[in-house]
Structure 1
Amino acid sequence: MAEKRKINPWLKAALEFGPLLVFFAVFTRMKDAQVMVGGTSYSGFVVATALFIPLMIVTTGLLWRLTGRLAPMQVATLVLVVVFGGLSVWFNDPHFFKMKPTLIYLIFAGLLAVGLLRGKPWLQLVMDETIPMRPEGWLILTKRLIALFLGLAVANELVWRTMSDQAWVNFKTFGLTILMFGFFMAQGPLITRYGLPKDKE
């Protein structure tokens, strides 16, 4: 098993969020543009997606190279970005890429739910080193995270189906990130109640 290595947190954040910010910047600049390639006209959204895919591959590869490992969430996200982003570019249709967050959140909610049904809190296996807690705490946090993922899947569907491309890009870039960050910040009392010392075996 590859040894996990620590890297500068600012570098890690840049590699994780950099592609999304580039996507946002390119789309915002080109949202009203049409780019002709091989006789086909592509919207600014599709062009931004076409740039996002290789950038995501490169930054994820760098994270793996620098840290020695990738979280299952990162691997699944990369696969769906390549598949659904690729479909959007291939068919010149932004809808495929817009559906990607919905599928990601449904997959994660489903995996966590299966873990609970099997009596295996898979969230604990992924995050135990970061947030040591008693089993009761992991059970509660897992149920809350399942509810969050399902809510985000519904929210993504509502936004991309009823709002403009710009609204969806804003929601994808900032809204989802803020909601995830706010969720984990709100779990402070739970972590305090069920937390264990980090050096406890």
Structure 2
Amino acid sequence: MKFLFDLFPVILFFIAYRFGTSNQDTAHALALEYMGGLIAGGSITPEQSPIILATAVGIVATVLQIGYLLVRGRKVDGMLWLSLAVIVVMGGATIYFHDENFIKWKPTILYWAFAVVLFVAQVVFRKNLMRKGMEAQIKLPDAVWDRVGYAWIAFMAAMGVLNLVMAFIVFKGNTSAWVSFKMFGATGLFFAFVVIQTLMLSKHMQEEPEDIV
């Protein structure tokens, strides 16, 4: 369930974009009616409307995601706040300038921001954030936790580069293909990374010591 909850904005972004491409006239009308005042010049072309609509939905979905946690009295992870800041800034720029390149940079900025936060915490402050988030579920030796942290730093950095390659080289001029990669390709890579890492860590997992009666 947490996996789906984390993907909530991405899923709605994908659905909104697909709706917009299949119903371009409706998407265009919705974008002009509800976001006309936020768009430079007050107008966009019908071809621009799907990404504008999807971006707005992604922003609202992230706000709702955080709002749900706050209403339930749950802690909002710092990374989620960072995600909100990035999508508001880059998504807002996408809508205002009606330029899809801004939202295409959003995943890379977020991946690299995560990598920097993890790196600074682990190297400068000697605080392994991955260990902090995962230690309640698994027990590992200190040296292995260090490798886990560096693995996530490298993975996030690589994902940032990959997003740029897919957005501006492989799928240049094909926003639909990039949106599909964002939904299925990037998500699949995250899932594969977690599975592979779990398998590799299984031999290092330590059992909880039994209580002595």
Decide: shared fold, TM above 0.5. yes
In 2, Cα distance between equivalents of 1:104 and 1:81: 9
Deviates more, 1:185-194 or 1:27-36: 27-36
Partner of 2:106: 100
Larger proportion of helix? 2
Larger radius of gyration: 2
1:63-92 C-alpha deviation (Å, 9 max, x unpaired)? 343361122222211221111111111111
Change (3 A) 1:109 1:199: farther
Q: Which residue of structure 2 aligns with residue 145 of structure 1?
A: 152
Pairwise CA RMSD: 2.2
Distance 1:113 1:46, change over 3 A: same
Aligned length: 190
Query: Hey, what does 2:176 align to over in structure 1?
Result: 166
Moved more, 177-186 or 41-50: 41-50
Q: Which moved more, 1:90-99 or 1:25-34?
A: 25-34
Structure 1: distance between partners of 2:57 and 2:144: 41
The yes-or-no answer on 1:125 pairing with 2:132 is yes
Deviation at 1:187, TM superposition (A): 1.2
Cα distance in 1 for residues equivalent to 2:85 and 2:43: 26
Instruction: Answer yes or no: is 1:18 the counterpart of 2:8.
Output: yes
Long gaps (5+) in structure 1: 1-8
In the TM superposition, residue 166 of structure 1 has moved relative to its aligned partner by 0.9
* C-alpha contact 1:115 1:121 (8 A) present in aligned 2: yes
Contact 1:133/1:194 (8 A) holds in 2: yes
Question: Closer, same or farther in 2 for the Cα pair 1:65/1:129, shift >3 Å?
Answer: farther
Decide whether aligned partners of structure 1 residues 15 and 115 sit closer, same or farther in structure 2, where only a CA change above 3 A counts. closer
Identity between Structure 1 and Structure 2 (%): 27
Normalised to the residue count of structure 2, the TM-score between the two structures is 0.79
Name the structure 1 match of 2:39: none
